């Protein structure tokens, strides 16, 4: 992302806004230069953010997305393409909301609040087990044998059938669909499975020919497995890319990490990981380099991708060791974590996701005991 002082563009005396653009070097124009594919957003004099997407950009975006879907699903997947295009358009519209909502420096006051909503039945530990799909939210409890679904407003939950001999290990969402690592208790076989909401059934999306402790994360285009081939952490984090078309997992490489990964999220070509440290580790998939972000207030946080910005919620307070209500967002320009309004409950081990209604949803977790509560952060 490129950020430029936009005061000279707006010509408004005494006001400095910022101009944001997303640069995609893989999309090329006829002269070989990188094409500004997605959008430019600019604050107006009233403070609102307006999309500046030209008709030419729209056409190039549509052709590029159509080719991507055809390559992945085949030319007959018109319905699938329409769904993906609508989802992508929704992501573009959410960018303007993100810019209004999030602070740009420590002096910004954020006018948002947490509101309690209904929790999945009996509470539970939902870290890495809560995702938003096209039809709402899907959650899985810590033992991996109960699955629930809620609408986008998290007003009600319903139980979904789970095959007794299958154990769900984490959840991830790709293109509005739910994926999970699935273990067979009868044979100890692992596989990547895709959940069909209409039939409430799992189908195999990719085979796993290895065992160990794994998490599944997704960016806008790919699924990744991160973890270890052994049950005991050996400081070596393995990374695989899941190929849904071929039904396999391709090893990308490994990197050393000093803590057990509690929560992970993929944003672009980076995988962000939190654990028993106040600093989030960032793994670049481009060159497999690892770096650390500045320290947060807490450790063991649940982290979230909110419109390309990294949000950390709850966890264990680094000072007193208690569960925390803190919510922070990382701002790369100032290289700091900035505070958002705290949650209404202390939580660690909770599930977090962004809903289709522009909300951050937080479900379950622990304070002293299991927390049977949930809440959403409203824009």
Chunk the chain into consecutive blocks of 10 residues (it has 379) and report each block's average pLDDT, rounded to whole numbers: 33 34 34 33 37 53 65 58 58 47 59 88 91 94 91 91 87 94 84 91 90 90 88 77 93 90 94 94 94 94 92 91 93 90 94 90 92 87
Same-domain status, 21 and 46: yes
Count up the domains in the chain and report the number: 2
Same-domain check for residues 225 and 351: yes
- Is 155 contained in some domain? yes
Q: Which of 91, 50, 46, 83 is nearest to 66 (CA)?
A: 83
In this structure, what is the dihedral angle of CA atoms 242, 355, 227, 286, given to the nearest 10 degrees?
60
Domain identity same for 187 and 50: no
Nearest to 354 by CA among 110, 98, 157, 53: 98
Residue 160 lies in a domain: yes
Q: Are residues 52 and 81 in the same domain?
A: yes
Residues 92 and 156 in one domain: no
Shared-domain flag, residues 70 and 150 = no
Whether residue 107 is contained in a domain is answered as no
CA dihedral 87, 92, 93, 94 (to 10 degrees): 90
Give the C-alpha separation, 75 to 347, whole Å: 46
Judge contact between 114 and 344, C-beta under 8 A.
yes
Tokens of 369: 């005991």
Please tell me whether residues 148 and 280 are part of one structural domain: yes
How deeply is 74 buried, as exposed, middle or buried, from its count of CB atoms within 10 A (0-12, 13-18, 19+)?
exposed
Domain stops at, among 74, 101, 128: 101
| Domain final residue, candidates 101, 133, 165 | 101
User: What is the CATH number for 356?
Assistant: 2.120.10.80
Q: Which residues pair with 290 in a beta bridge?
A: 283
Residues 258 and 331 in one domain: yes
128 and 83 fall within a common domain: no
User: What pLDDT shows up at residue 14?
Assistant: 36
106 is a domain residue: no
- Dig out the tokens for 51 from the structure: 């999309």
Q: Which of 101, 123, 138 is the last residue of a domain?
A: 101
Q: Do 307 and 210 belong together in one domain?
A: yes
Same domain, 96 and 209: no
Let me know whether 82 and 117 are in one domain.
no
Residue 219, domain extent: 113-378
**The model's pTM:** 0.74
Looking at residue 166, its pLDDT comes to: 87
Is 169 within the bounds of a domain?
A: yes
């Amino acid at each position: 992302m490129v950020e430029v002082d936009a005061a000279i563009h707006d010509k408004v005396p005494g006001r400095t806004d910022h101009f944001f653009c997303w640069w995609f070097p893989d999309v090329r124009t006829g002269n070989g230069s990188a094409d500004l594919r997605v959008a430019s957003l600019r604050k107006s004099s009233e403070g609102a953010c307006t999309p500046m997407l030209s008709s030419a950009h729209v056409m190039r975006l549509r052709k590029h997305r159509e080719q991507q879907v055809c390559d992945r699903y085949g030319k007959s997947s018109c319905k699938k393409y329409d769904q993906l295009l609508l989802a992508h358009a929704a992501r573009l519209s959410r960018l303007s909301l993100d810019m209004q909502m999030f602070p740009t420096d420590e002096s910004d006051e954020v006018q948002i609040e947490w509101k309690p909503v209904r929790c999945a039945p009996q509470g539970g530990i939902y870290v890495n087990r809560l995702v938003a799909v096209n039809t709402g939210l899907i959650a899985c409890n810590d033992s991996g044998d109960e699955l629930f679904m809620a609408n986008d407003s998290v007003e009600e939950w319903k139980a979904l059938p789970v095959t007794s001999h299958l154990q769900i290990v984490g959840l991830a969402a790709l293109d509005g669909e739910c994926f999970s690592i699935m273990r067979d208790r009868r044979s100890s076989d692992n596989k990547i499975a895709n959940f069909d909401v209409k039939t409430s059934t799992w189908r195999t999306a990719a085979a796993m020919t290895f065992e160990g402790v794994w998490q599944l994360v997704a960016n806008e285009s790919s699924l990744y497995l991160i973890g270890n081939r052994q049950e005991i952490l050996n400081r070596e984090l393995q990374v695989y890319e899941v190929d849904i078309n071929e039904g396999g997992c391709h090893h990308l490489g490994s990197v050393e990490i000093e803590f057990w990964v509690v929560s992970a999220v993929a944003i672009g070509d980076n995988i962000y990981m939190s654990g028993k440290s106040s600093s989030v580790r960032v793994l670049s998939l481009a060159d497999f380099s690892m770096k650390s972000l500045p320290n947060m207030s807490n450790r063991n946080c649940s982290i979230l991708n909110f419109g390309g910005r990294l949000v950390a919620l709850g966890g264990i307070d680094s000072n007193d060791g208690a569960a925390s209500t803190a919510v922070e967002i990382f701002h790369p320009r100032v290289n700091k974590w900035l505070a958002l309004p705290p949650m209404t409950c202390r939580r660690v081990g909770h599930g977090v996701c962004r809903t289709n209604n522009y909300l951050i949803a937080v479900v379950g977790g622990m304070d002293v005991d299991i927390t049977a509560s949930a809440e959403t952060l409203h824009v």
